[in-house]
Amino acid sequence: MLLEQVEYVRPQSLDEALEILANDDGAAPLAGGQSLTNVLKNRVASVDVLVDISALGDLAGITRTADGGLSIGACVTYDELDRSAEVRQSHWMLGEVAAHIEDQQIRNKGTIGGNCCLSDPTNNLPPILVALDAVMELRSRSGRRSVEAADFFKGYFATALEPGELLVSITVPQMPERSGAGYASLAVGADAKAMVRAAARVTLDRDHATIVDSRVVLARVAHVPTRDAEAEARLNGADATDDAVRAACAGVADGMQPITDVHGSSEYRRQMAKVMARRAVDQAIAAARGGRNGSSAGGN
């Protein structure tokens, strides 16, 4: 189906974009346009004005923050994340997850901001951003606020964004020394979307023998990326060995009620969440030991 006629504007500044969004309830930001235009073509939603934010300088670029973290503009594409020397140097796994999204055409246009603001539970970037303790920087005509990634995703295609607000950038703090990240997905069938994902971050002690801090984030178990606090508590203080990680991950998702859908039952998801979490934690430990902050993202 073709797009219905819709007004298109290309503001020259962030302030101009925020002004348009504040004054018109029917205006929507257009970033990579890959999801929004499909939604509009399929008549699932309608907008009066498409506000093209893709060329705004305030939403572009990746810079190093004073504390060694990253500030990533909302309109940075997956391809830019993949190719960024800054990202690869300090947050290898974030670049790796971006590098595994679909195909080159999608990676050329899809933006980190669009990926998050859509809040499609199958999207790749939200779980790794939660695992990395990322913070979403929001602006509206009336001010700015910061929302932790863990609180940004509110539900199926729902976020903490208020009407008239834009995600401007994402701050990813520097990881502590001896930290690494991992990411694992399960998709059943060729070209299938992931049924379960896990992202992990661990920090090891000086001897690289004990896990001192961890994040275990599950996606597609609930409609939003969800930290498994019980699994994290079991990992913190555990030996960084296969047996100890396997034992800690055996209870992953036991305190949750995974969704059932056409792709898999609740119980199947729970079992696969344990496997994906173990793989992600194993990768994170290897990365922390190897001095590289992540290894292969492995699939969609």
- Give the integer Cα–Cα distance in Å for 242 and 202: 14
Residues engaged in binding ligand FAD (CB under 6 A): 28-36, 38, 53, 74, 101-102, 106, 110-111, 113-115, 117-118, 120, 123-124, 161, 166-167, 300
Nearest-approach distance from CB 210 to ligand FAD, in angstroms: 34
Q: Using CB positions, name the residue nearest to ligand FAD.
A: 114
Q: Which of 41, 116, 134 is nearest to 78 (CA)?
A: 116
Tell me the angle at which helices 266-290 and 92-99 cross, rounded to the nearest 10 degrees: 130
- Give the integer Cα–Cα distance in Å for 277 and 92: 18
Residue with smaller CB distance to ligand FAD, 31 or 175: 31
Residue with smaller CB distance to ligand FAD, 99 or 247: 99
Residue with smaller CB distance to ligand FAD, 98 or 231: 98
Nearest-approach distance from CB 235 to ligand FAD, in angstroms: 26
Residues in CB range of 279: below 8 A, 6 or more apart: 182, 184, 198, 298
Nearest-approach distance from CB 248 to ligand FAD, in angstroms: 28
Q: Which is it for the CA torsion 138, 27, 10, 74, positive or negative?
A: positive
Nearest-approach distance from CB 157 to ligand FAD, in angstroms: 8
Nearest-approach distance from CB 115 to ligand FAD, in angstroms: 5
Residue with smaller CB distance to ligand FAD, 167 or 235: 167
Q: Which is it for the CA torsion 245, 257, 124, 26, positive or negative?
A: negative
- Give the integer Cα–Cα distance in Å for 273 and 291: 27
Residue with smaller CB distance to ligand FAD, 28 or 135: 28
